[in-house]
């Protein structure tokens, strides 16, 4: 009996030691994969995996729309995804916040999220009263947070996948399986649209997050960092000499463009004031930097919720956007 107990104890100790060893090896591998300052961004699968503690921070959808915890008292919070550096986002969005404050008589503050996870978490909580972002995210807020779309960019909204004009290896998106593609991390619509072309996640391209559309373009046109790049059609058309440098192998279907939406803390009257103000001559001046950033030649027009119905389907496999 004593020998049996001793044997069991020895085996258990061996298993614990093996487990510790495996954890140490895994930790070492993870450290090796971290990016080094000065090196280009690491390529990775497009599936978004949140930090371990994100689940505890994720709000339940039930009850969000009923009591959206946005700005306090008479303060309304305006935000947009962190697609630009903080200084650039303030340059683009602060004039809009100040203008809408004058129009509505309410205090509207622009809040720049530090990263995509922060933006996503605060949006899911209903922390933003007025938001400017992409059609699939507008659609999700309409369905889940009682937001209403106010005005949108009038230009055609489509994404292109481009390769260098001398690239004879890649003729269609299916050939990008396992290849590096410069663009934006999900839930960017262009990235999700490209993802939808790959039924098997193992066959997905490797996304290199470029930060800006210009850098995504340069990653193919001049730096040869990626086999392809995802770029909005409007931005591509404004890239000087692009027709002689890259060629399009895929174009998404046209969708309603990026839009401003307002949540339930913004009264129906103020929503109407905001819509009209953004379309006015003074509104065009306040949104000039925004229109320039998104290469709009036409500007803003009225929008409605029906245009965006069902577009949240693009988010069905994205963490945090349970339907």
Mean pLDDT of 201-221: 92
User: Which of the residue ranges 64-68, 78-82, 148-152, 202-206 would you say has the lowest mean pLDDT?
Assistant: 64-68
Looking up tokens 């009257």, which residue turns up? Answer: 269
Kindly state the DSSP code that residue 188 receives in the 8-state scheme.
-
Q: In this predicted model, which residue has the larger pLDDT, 301 or 320?
A: 301
User: Which of the residue ranges 51-55, 87-91, 112-116 would you say has the lowest mean pLDDT?
Assistant: 51-55
Which pLDDT score is estimated for 179? Answer: 95
Integer Cα distance of 208 and 30 in angstroms: 18
Q: Is the pLDDT of residue 199 over 90?
A: no
Token reading at 280: 């006015």
CB 180 within 8 A of CB 208: yes
Q: Is the pLDDT of residue 155 over 80?
A: yes
Confidence of residue 73 (pLDDT cuts 50, 70, 90): low
Summarize pLDDT for 258-286 with one digit per residue, the tens. Answer: 999 999 999 999 999 999 999 999 999 99
Mean pLDDT of 155-171: 94
Mean pLDDT of 151-156: 93
Compute, in degrees rounded to 10, the torsion defined by CA atoms 288, 291, 292, 298.
-100
Summarize pLDDT for 13-27 with one digit per residue, the tens. Answer: 444 343 433 333 334
Cis peptide bond prior to 187, omega within 30° of 0: yes
Token reading at 202: 């193992």
Q: Is the pLDDT of residue 117 over 90?
A: no
Q: Is the pLDDT of residue 49 over 90?
A: no
| E strand or H helix that includes residue 167 | none
Share of the chain above pLDDT 90, in %: 65
User: Which of the residue ranges 137-146, 197-206, 247-256 would you say has the lowest mean pLDDT?
Assistant: 197-206
Which pLDDT score is estimated for 272? Answer: 97
Strands in 228-232's sheet, in edge-to-edge order, are 44-45, 206-209, 180-183, 228-232, 159-164, 246-251
Give Cβ neighbours of residue 227 (< 8 Å, ≥ 6 apart): 163, 167, 169, 170, 176, 179, 180, 181, 220
Q: Is the pLDDT of residue 251 over 90?
A: yes
How many separate helices (H) and strands (E) can be counted in the chain? 12, 12
Which pLDDT score is estimated for 32? Answer: 36
Which domains does the chain possess?
70-154+256-315 (3.40.190.10), 159-251 (3.40.190.10)
Confidence of residue 71 (pLDDT cuts 50, 70, 90): low
- The HSE-up count of residue 230 (CA atoms within 13 Å, CB side) is 29
Q: Is the pLDDT of residue 148 over 60?
A: yes
CB 193 within 8 A of CB 186: no
Confidence of residue 202 (pLDDT cuts 50, 70, 90): confident
Give Cβ neighbours of residue 279 (< 8 Å, ≥ 6 apart): 151, 300, 301, 302
């Amino acid at each position: 009996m004593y020998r049996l107990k001793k044997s069991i104890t020895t085996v258990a100790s061996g298993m614990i030691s093996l487990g510790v060893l495996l954890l140490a090896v895994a930790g070492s591998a993870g450290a090796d994969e971290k990016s080094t300052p000065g090196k280009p961004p690491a390529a990775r699968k497009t599936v978004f995996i949140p930090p371990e503690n994100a689940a505890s921070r994720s709000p339940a959808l039930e009850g969000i729309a009923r009591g959206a915890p946005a700005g306090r008292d008479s303060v309304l919070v305006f935000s947009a995804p962190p697609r630009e550096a903080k200084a650039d986002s303030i340059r683009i969005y602060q004039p809009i916040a100040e203008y809408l404050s004058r129009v509505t008589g309410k205090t509207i503050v622009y809040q720049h999220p530090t990263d995509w996870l922060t933006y996503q978490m605060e949006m899911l909580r209903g922390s933003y009263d007025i938001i400017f972002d992409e059609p699939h995210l507008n659609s999700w807020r309409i369905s889940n947070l009682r937001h209403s779309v106010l005005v949108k960019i009038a230009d055609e909204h489509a994404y292109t996948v481009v390769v260098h004009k001398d690239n004879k290896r890649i003729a269609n998106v299916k050939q990008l399986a396992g290849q590096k593609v410069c663009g934006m991390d999900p839930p960017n619509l262009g990235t999700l649209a490209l993802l939808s072309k790959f039924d098997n996640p193992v066959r997905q391209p490797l996304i290199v997050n470029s930060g800006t559309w210009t850098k995504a373009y340069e990653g193919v046109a001049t730096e040869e960092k990626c086999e392809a790049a995802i770029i909005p059609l409007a931005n591509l058309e404004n890239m000087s000499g692009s027709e002689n440098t890259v060629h399009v192998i895929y174009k998404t279907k046209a969708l309603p463009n990026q839009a401003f939406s307002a949540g339930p803390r913004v009264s129906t009257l103020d929503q109407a004031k905001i819509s009209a103000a953004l379309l006015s001559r003074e509104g065009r001046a306040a949104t000039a930097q925004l229109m320039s950033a998104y290469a709009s030649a036409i500007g803003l027009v009225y929008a409605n919720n029906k245009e965006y119905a069902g577009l949240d389907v693009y988010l069905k496999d994205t963490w945090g956007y349970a339907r």
